[in-house]
């Protein structure tokens, strides 16, 4: 194995639901907790976006980024990166456009991910 891809998507029901704090029952509340925590952590950046669709997409991107960060910290994955050249990649599938967008790892540090030019 040389690559791991983490792929989120637009029009994500989970990301949409995580924009609010409605009580959706114990199962969904537990499932949405990590996304809601991401929303709170990135509140200012999300609030600067024009509408809920843009916020939901950004939250999905942040979720992919967080998933990659968790993977990088896993001992087996870290070892594979260092010893076997494993690479991790983040993507968003844009459902409306039918396109797969690669998230730009080089810009991850400043919190601004974009499709490569």
pLDDT at position 105 = 61
Question: Domain limits of the chain?
Answer: 3-110
CA nearest neighbour of 9 among 92, 114, 113: 92
pLDDT at position 107 = 44
Name the helix (H) or strand (E) containing 116. none
Choosing among 3.40.630.30, 3.40.50.300, 3.20.20.150, 3.40.1050.10, the CATH entry for 3-110 is 3.40.1050.10
Rounded distance between C-alpha atoms, residue 78 and residue 69, angstroms: 11
pLDDT at position 114 = 42
pLDDT at position 113 = 43
Q: Are strands 3-9 and 99-102 parallel, antiparallel or unpaired?
A: unpaired
Question: Is 5 in a helix, a strand, or coil?
Answer: strand
Residues 58, 43 contacting (CB under 8 angstroms)? no
Kindly provide the residue ranges of all beta strands, DSSP E only, lying in the chain, ordered along the sequence.
3-9, 87-94, 99-102
State both tokens at 91: 């993507």
Low-confidence ranges of the chain (pLDDT < 70): 1, 105-117
């Amino acid at each position: 194995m040389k690559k791991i891809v983490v792929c989120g998507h637009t029009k994500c029901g989970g990301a949409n639901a995580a924009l609010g704090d409605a009580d959706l029952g114990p199962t969904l509340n537990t499932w949405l907790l990590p996304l809601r925590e991401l929303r709170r952590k990135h509140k200012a950046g999300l609030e600067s976006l024009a509408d809920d669709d843009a916020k939901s997409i950004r939250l999905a991107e942040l979720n992919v980024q967080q998933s990659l960060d968790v993977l990088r910290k896993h001992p087996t994955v870290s070892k594979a990166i260092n010893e076997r050249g494993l690479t991790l990649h983040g993507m968003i599938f844009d459902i409306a456009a039918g396109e797969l967008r690669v998230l730009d790892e080089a810009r991850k540090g400043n919190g601004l991910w974009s499709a490569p030019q």
